[in-house]
Amino acid sequence: MVRSAVLALVMLASVCSFPALAADTPFQEALHAARNDDWEGLSRAQARLGDDHPLQAYLDFHRLRAALPDLNPDRVADYARRYPDSPLPNDIRQLALVAYARDNRWDAARAVYDEPPRSLELNCLYWRAQWQAGNEQALSRARELWLSGNSRPSACDAIFNAARDRGVIGQAEIWQRMELAFYERGPGLMRYLRPMLDDQPYGTAADWLLDLYGDPEQLTGIPKSLPDDQRQVLLAAGFRRLAYTDTVKAREWFEDDLGDLGFTDAALIERSGQRIAWYSTIRGIEDNRDWLDDWLRDHGGDSLVDQRARRAVIEQEWDELPDWIALLPEAERKDSRWLYWAGRAAEENGDEQRARSLWQQAAAQRNFYGFLAADRIGEPYRFSNAVPTGDQTLPELPALARIQLLREQDEPGLAWSEWNWLMWHSNETRQRQLAQYALDAGWYDLTVQASIQARAWDVLAWRFPAAHQQRFQEAGRRHRLDPWLAMAIARRESAFYPNARSPVGALGLMQLMPGTAAKVAREAGQGVPAERQVLDPATNIELGTRYLGDLLDRFNGNRLLALAAYNAGPGRIAQWLAEEDEAVPVDVWIESIPFRETRDYVQAVLTYRVLFEGLHGNPESRTAMLLLPAESGTPYSLAMIED
């Protein structure tokens, strides 16, 4: 059980594995000792703290953690009763379940959870414990967990094996999972599953499924001797893969050869056509254009029509764009994005009055295209800023005292967990009270999190607090850049959570990759910073703004190119700029950025920058702040970076 179970144990034990800066206070000494199983040191520090310290739950947590797997599960329940308003009881339950399972203490494992936990790995362990007690429902739940195109933790293997032994997971379920893995682009999982299938009735079809993943053009050779339901699945899989590898050929065969291939399943044919249409659209394949447009008019699909309208923008097909926008759902048509582009089409088609009307509608919205539309008609931006209302007085909550202490003890991760637990267990009124409390306390990352939980989209004081403003201003002066832009990056990257870590390893407020942080530090004549230093807000802001300044220098001060590079890497920018004779306007270039994440990122950061300056800088200047004249007036092409 396993490596993945061990990984879960390590992750859940974050309260015992994160290194402290220094043992400067009795609690820091105690926590450092507890994390390192130094019980004598803990006893000495505990004597100085007393037994009623507000953070006592953390020290008791480690005593329980260290006693696993021999710990009596009653002590886990007692711990939950003693600390009912804390996230820690759930943490110790998770650790206990993993530890008991590894030690085959299934009675104890069943005792720590009354219902299945959310984590996939813990869910498998929970149902394995139930199966050990003869609960037949465990096998049907195992079947549900099995049917996925993605790999499952090895902690699930035992309950899967039990379900296979009892026939709850049989040949049909293994074949179904192979099909799901194909659609999730999981050839490794497909190869893992293949030996589980007998030659009949699914083995031959499974071999063909693997072959089609490697060479989808083999779909013309699928044996007609296979059962028809398997052939239909294989033909659909082959067309899906061929749409990715050779979209033109996929369209030609789909258009001309369905009858000869014996592809008759209407639902699978529809799905295959939509996939060919998707790649035809996002790749802008001219050879498929007539077929694509006919397909979309007959079959629709909101996401496909959206992409087709976007393709019309990229190719500046201003005559055709209104027709594609008209096929979008009403809610999409009324969104500022498509109101803006409908206005651009009207302008290009000579209808200035309609363009202005559409831009006025778009300008009522607080977002990138709303602000862009406002600039088109020379109107101020609509912030639609709601003032917090209601009783802001909170009762005394022990969790708030713990959060305060944890932040003072330089434990942002633990404070974050406490805050999230408190938010999840509060109603909307309490969440709003907590948002204002956090803002007053200067807990800017927690303020933003509270605004999200409370869905307080119009309370901009909570969503865009002036976090670390002085640091950003000082760093901006040092590196000759706009501090509001750097602050907007931090808001987008981490929502001001200083301990943020991305799945790929980016760290801190401005989400710096360790290699980037090291490179910037070396170029500044400094030593390579340790991870803990990169997480420090002052260091992170210094290195992040220096890196941003380098990108702005590299791209001649163009913030759009620099932001796209910050998100996707500098090397991609040249790929996204056309030859000089194909230069495009700034708005078209933004819409043409291939990565949706980067498109959204550039728009969000520029929008956040406007909000920060409008809220905390010059509130009178709320127009023409989105793009600089040089950015909006320059055609976008490779000529911008050739120097």
SS (H, E, C) 329-369: CHHHHCCHHHHHHHHHHHHHCCCHHHHHHHHHHHCCCCCHH
Q: Does residue 13 surpass a pLDDT of 70?
A: no
Choosing from 29, 493, 542, 613, the catalytic residue is 493
| 533 & 504 share domain | yes
| 147 & 255 share domain | no
Q: Which of 425, 445, 463 is the last residue of a domain?
A: 463
Domain range holding 97?
A: 2-165
| 599 & 620 share domain | yes
Q: Strand pairing partners for 501?
A: 507
| 144 & 198 share domain | no
Is 376 a domain residue?
Answer: no
| 574 & 532 share domain | yes
With cut-offs at 50, 70 and 90, classify the pLDDT of residue 426: very high
Mean pLDDT of 34-60: 92
With cut-offs at 50, 70 and 90, classify the pLDDT of residue 471: very high
Q: What is the DSSP letter of 501?
A: B
Is 375 a domain residue?
Answer: no
With cut-offs at 50, 70 and 90, classify the pLDDT of residue 11: very low
- pLDDT score recorded for residue 580: 84
Distance between CA atoms of residues 292 and 29, nearest Å: 67
Mean pLDDT of 15-32: 63
- pLDDT score recorded for residue 332: 96
Give yes or no for a contact between 12 and 94, defined as CB atoms under 8 angstroms apart: yes
- pLDDT score recorded for residue 392: 64
CATH number, domain of 123, equals 1.25.20.10
Work out the burial of residue 117: count CB atoms within 10 Å of its CB; fewer than 13 is exposed, 13-18 middle, 19 or more buried.
middle
Does residue 493 carry a catalytic annotation?
Answer: yes
| 177 & 260 share domain | yes
- pLDDT score recorded for residue 51: 79
Digit-coded pLDDT (tens) for 120-146: 999 999 999 999 999 999 999 999 999
Is 266 a domain residue?
Answer: yes
Place of tokens 């990138």: 368
Which range, of 20-24, 109-113, 280-284, 621-625, averages the lowest pLDDT?
20-24
Q: What is the DSSP letter of 127?
A: H
| 604 & 565 share domain | yes
| 112 & 216 share domain | no
Regarding predicted confidence, which is higher, 376 or 625?
Answer: 376
| 496 & 536 share domain | yes
Digit-coded pLDDT (tens) for 322-341: 999 999 999 999 999 999 99
Q: Which of 165, 189, 205 is the last residue of a domain?
A: 165
Helices and strands per DSSP (H, E), number in the chain: 39, 0
- pLDDT score recorded for residue 618: 77
- pLDDT score recorded for residue 24: 64
Q: Under DSSP, is residue 584 helix (H, G, I), strand (E, B) or coil?
A: strand
With cut-offs at 50, 70 and 90, classify the pLDDT of residue 391: low
With cut-offs at 50, 70 and 90, classify the pLDDT of residue 7: very low
Mean pLDDT of 561-567: 98
- pLDDT score recorded for residue 643: 61
Q: Does residue 494 surpass a pLDDT of 70?
A: yes
Is 189 a domain residue?
Answer: yes
Domain count, the chain: 4
Q: Does residue 84 surpass a pLDDT of 60?
A: yes
Q: Which of 463, 496, 520 is the last residue of a domain?
A: 463
Distance between CA atoms of residues 358 and 630, nearest Å: 25
Q: Does residue 12 surpass a pLDDT of 60?
A: no
| 422 & 551 share domain | no
CATH number, domain of 603, equals 1.10.530.10
Is 308 a domain residue?
Answer: no
Q: What is the DSSP letter of 37?
A: T
Q: Does residue 548 surpass a pLDDT of 70?
A: yes
Digit-coded pLDDT (tens) for 579-610: 888 999 999 999 999 999 999 999 999 999 99
Q: Does residue 508 surpass a pLDDT of 80?
A: yes
Is 193 a domain residue?
Answer: yes
Mean pLDDT of 255-277: 96
What percent of the chain has pLDDT above 90? Answer: 89
Give yes or no for a contact between 463 and 448, defined as CB atoms under 8 angstroms apart: yes
Q: Does residue 22 surpass a pLDDT of 50?
A: no
Q: Two tokens at 599?
A: 């498109």
- pLDDT score recorded for residue 303: 93
| 59 & 157 share domain | yes
Digit-coded pLDDT (tens) for 223-264: 999 999 999 999 999 999 999 999 999 999 999 999 999 999
Q: Does residue 90 surpass a pLDDT of 90?
A: yes
| 420 & 512 share domain | no
Digit-coded pLDDT (tens) for 176-209: 999 999 999 999 999 999 999 998 899 999 999 9
Is 362 a domain residue?
Answer: no
Contacts with 600 (C-beta within 8 Å, 6 or more apart), sequence order: none
Q: What is the DSSP letter of 482?
A: -
Identify residue 328 by its one-letter amino acid code.
L
Is 316 a domain residue?
Answer: no
CATH number, domain of 451, equals 1.10.1240.20
Q: What is the mean pLDDT of the chain?
A: 93
Place of tokens 């055609």: 635
